[in-house]
Amino acid sequence: LAAHLHGQRCPPYVINLDPAVHDLPFPANIDIRDTVKYKEVMKQYGLGPNGGIVTSLNLFATRFDQVMKFIEKRQNASKYVLIDTPGQIEVFTWSASGTIITEALASSFPSVVVYVMDTSRSTNPITFMSNMLYACSILYKTKLPFVVVMNKTDIIDHSFAVEWMQDFETFQDALNQETSYVSNLTRSMSLVLDEFYSSLKVVGVSAVLGTGLDDFFVQLSKAVDEYEREYRPEYERLRKTLEKAQNKQKREQLEHLWKDMGSVCMQGNAFAGPDDASGMGPSELILTRGMLDEEEERESDTDDIDHEVTEESHEEPAFRNFMQETRMKYQRMEQPE
């Protein structure tokens, strides 16, 4: 895919998210292996292979905001961003880090999930059904436009799989050759997935020969249109809902802060007269301070505060300290520049 785009003079921006791959057969602009050492993670946390991959991906996801900035900078130079994820479905699709990365991308850019399956290993109807269940679960989890790529068509043509998806009877005939319990389960599942097949984008390619990639980009273009038509409005709605919730939370926190600060101020100035500016809450004092006319400024003279503090000197020591600090602050504020 990368070679095809380079041949079209449309170089992609490539990101590798598989920390356990030994040799990467294509150049990557961002490589998780440069940030996280997979084997060191396994040793340090005492993990197995899958646990090491998940933890490495979790560590990398904490810095994915920086990756997003790199992608934004390359928007004009690269039309396509290719992100190669770990092959294990549970490692990326059903992990917290996979969800974070997917949603971060989908909320900012037109994003399409490409599910690559091995056609030569799916000639058995039961194995084929297992692959389709995987695809269905990924589509359900990511909620993004979806393209199934049947790879290795240079070994076996993918037309049999397409026929199984389009013709229920043909798939049933293939299943009749199986007599195990799993075949009965597969037969039932095929009825359930019939609706899933009807809207699925499928294309056969060969990574070795490069055939089928033109058809793939046709399907990809349709998937992008689907994103713009159906998925972007939903993400925009979710983003606005999230912003409203965050703004509401900030307002509530600010109101609580003002209330708490106001109660402290009122306790410290319970004896102040109704015309005393020091009896106002903190926010009101900030808003009106420096905007009062000369007559109002005389009414809020600090001599009144001094007098009141002297009269209430029998109060608790902590209270007296609070008022003394308040008086000193007001004196500094009243001093002419």
| 3-state SS assignment for residue 194 | helix
Task: Write down the residue that tokens 């294309």 correspond to.
Answer: 203
Where is pLDDT greater, at 100 or 179? 100
- Strands, E assignment, 109-233: 113-118, 146-151, 201-204
User: Is 263's pLDDT higher than 90?
Assistant: no
Sheet holding 30-31, edge to edge: 30-31, 13-16, 81-84
User: What mean pLDDT, rounded, does the chain reach?
Assistant: 80
Mean pLDDT computed over 173-196: 81
Q: Tell me which fold the domain 1-96 belongs to.
A: Rossmann fold (3.40.50)
Mean pLDDT computed over 48-52: 91
pLDDT band at 243 (very low <50, low <70, confident <90, very high): confident
Mean pLDDT computed over 318-326: 60
Where is pLDDT greater, at 199 or 81? 81
Mean pLDDT computed over 313-318: 52
Topology alike, domains 1-96 and 110-251: yes
User: Is 35's pLDDT higher than 60?
Assistant: yes
| Annotated domain spans of the chain | 1-96, 110-251
Where is pLDDT greater, at 209 or 246? 209
- Strands, E assignment, 139-261: 146-151, 201-204
pLDDT at res. 329: 57
Question: What are 151's strand-pairing partners?
Answer: 118
Q: Tell me which fold the domain 110-251 belongs to.
A: Rossmann fold (3.40.50)
pLDDT band at 174 (very low <50, low <70, confident <90, very high): confident
User: Is 6's pLDDT higher than 80?
Assistant: yes
Mean pLDDT computed over 243-269: 73
Give the largest Cα separation in the chain, rounded. 102
Task: Write down the residue that tokens 């389709």 correspond to.
Answer: 132
Q: CA–CA separation, 15 vs 248, rounded Å? A: 37
The share of the chain scoring above pLDDT 90, in percent, equals 47
- Closest by CA position to 17, among listed 77, 80, 101, 95: 101
Contact between 54 and 91 under an 8 Å Cβ cutoff? The reply is yes
Sheet holding 146-151, edge to edge: 113-118, 146-151, 201-204
Contact between 201 and 147 under an 8 Å Cβ cutoff? The reply is yes
pLDDT at res. 256: 78
Where is pLDDT greater, at 314 or 219? 219
